[in-house]
Homo-oligomer: A and B are copies of this chain.
Amino acid sequence: MATLYSSLAREIVERIEQGLYRPGDRMPGVRILSAQRGVSIATAVAAYRRLEDDGYIEARQRSGFYVRARPHPRVAEPEASAPRVRPSPVTGQELVLQLVKATNTPGIIQLGAAVPDPSYLPTRAIERALSRAARQRLRIMAYEFPPGAPELRRQIARRMAEIGCPVDPDEVVITNGCQEALILALRAVTQPGDVVAIESPTFYGMLQALDSLGLEALEIPTHPRTGLSLEALGLALERWPVKACVAVPNYSNPLGYCMPDEHKRRLVALLKARGIPLIEDDVYGDLGFAQRRPSVCRAIPGADVLYCASFSKTLSSGLRIGWIAPGRHLERVEYLKYVNNLATATVPQLAIADLLESGGYERFLRQVRGDYARAVTRMVDAVTRHFPEGTKITQPEGGFVIWIELPKDIDSFELARRALTEKISIAPGPIFSATQKYRNYIRISCACAWDTRIETALAALGRMIRQETAPVPESRMTTRRDAD
């Protein structure tokens, strides 16, 4: 049912797409819009919020709504995925660790793993915080049994309140990064053999988690701008005995979309109606390019959500500090954390608590979000220049990875293998699927230190792709034309 505000929003989208409002333009104020269209102010606000959710405009504090820059309006995006929606064991994940280890080769151009180059991280601040933490001698010698260091849990609870999701510090359990949080969440709400609904494509850490726990994956079609197809999910829930759903609603890896608020509400309601818990991975939530920090499903009243996040993409991967706010599953999650490794190391917990308490986190985020936005734009530019015409690239609204659709006949495993021989690491598409779909896709991390070697590497990748597509005469023609 089209509501008044959504028709109004659609109309404004048309104006933006016609170029009547250009990136950076200020939109009419809500009072003006309301008067112009003869709608209530509430409807005008709702229409703008919808446009904001859809990534067309952004609110600037005390200044109104502005049209957002779409970095590459003419770069084609991949379509929504259309996996076969049927539970399946996860296959082919053992080789991911081999790929990851290969990226440790000295001198490698690291475009594969979603690991920020240290130049994006506050290295000096971390060093200082660690040295201060090391001085708490007696404290750091001892176990910090679950739920973890109280000062860190307090800081995390404060941060969560700031992003609109208040939780009690005692409901936060510190983990060894977000991956451990996800493993604990899955173990808390499933048994081996259970079916778990997931985005498709989704990040391989989740697929490995399902594989290692003997769970079946139910891959749900996912749109590169709005995320999980709620229609497809609804149908799948009718048909299959789903025990949990995992989503990365904010700047999902690898697609980079931010699920609109309304979708988040519908997702939560859909699952709640069937008593299915949502495992929400918000590890990229702080890294959006828009002004507004996106909302989290955990904050929706009545939601049964195990919220998982970490500081691995913002402060430091190597400190291995993540957390989970598991709601009603708290007791089980604490027990499983204790069993898994008794405690998370104390010194990184104290260092991060110190860093958060000293108050620079929000300021640092503002800076690094800009850095990542520029890194993504630069990478999309370069890929557009070096890869054959017809290449489709996502335009993420946060995070630092892009998902690239290559010509149909490209085998991205073969491409990744060849790239490694030239000391370039990329992530081949099939590792983002439980059933090794996305054969002609790759994921590229943009959070690398940019230098001429990156341009050279992308040019080399472009060459390899053209060579791969060359053998078939028809595509050779296309390729030749593309190469002009």
Contacts and interface: CB of A to CB of B under 8 A. Distances in A.
Interface stretch (A220-228, A290-298, A342-350, A412-420): A342-350
A130 B347 contact: yes
B187 A212 contact: yes
A318 interface: yes
Interface stretch (A9-17, A158-166, A247-255, A331-339): A331-339
Interface string A185-221: 0010001100000000000010011011010000000
Contact of A145 (B100, B123, B212): B100
- Select the residue from A316, A318, A334 with max chain B CB neighbours within 10 A: A318
Interface stretch (A171-179, A258-266, A299-307): A171-179
Interface string A29-71: 0000000000000000000000000000000000000000000
A182 to B, nearest CB: 10
Interface of A: prevailing SS: helix
Given A140-B316, A141-B118, A340 B100 contact: no
A242 interface: no
A434 to B, nearest CB: 14
Given A118-B142, A124-B137, A318-B346, A192 B208 contact: no
A140 B319 contact: yes
A448 interface: no
A97 B142 contact: no
Nearest to A136: B127
A176 B179 CA distance: 14
A349 B128 CA distance: 18
Interface in A108-143: 115, 118, 121, 123-124, 126-127, 130-131, 133-135, 137-143
Contacts of A175: 341
Interface string A311-332: 0000011111000000000010
B143 A318 contact: yes
Contacts of A347: 130, 318-319, 347-348
Nearest to A187: B212
A342 to B, nearest CB: 5
Contacts of A131: 130-131, 134
A367 interface: no
Nearest to A116: B141
Given A142-B115, A339-B179, A344 B320 contact: yes
A308 interface: no
Interface in A337-377: 338-348
B318 A209 contact: no
A65 to B, nearest CB: 37
A277 interface: no
A440 to B, nearest CB: 26
Contacts of A177: 341-343
Given A176-B341, A345-B319, A348-B345, A130 B141 contact: no
Given A137-B126, A142-B318, A97 B192 contact: no
A123 to B, nearest CB: 4
A338 B100 contact: yes
A130 B141 CA distance: 11
B140 A318 contact: yes
A144 interface: yes
A93 to B, nearest CB: 8
Contacts of A214: 191-192
**9 nearest CB pairs, A to B:** A318-B346, A130-B134, A176-B341, A180-B341, A320-B345, A118-B141, A208-B339, A123-B137, A212-B339
Interface of A: 94, 97, 100-101, 104, 115, 118, 121, 123-124, 126-127, 130-131, 133-135, 137-146, 175-177, 179-180, 183, 187, 191-192, 205, 208-209, 211-212, 214, 316-320, 331, 334-336, 338-348
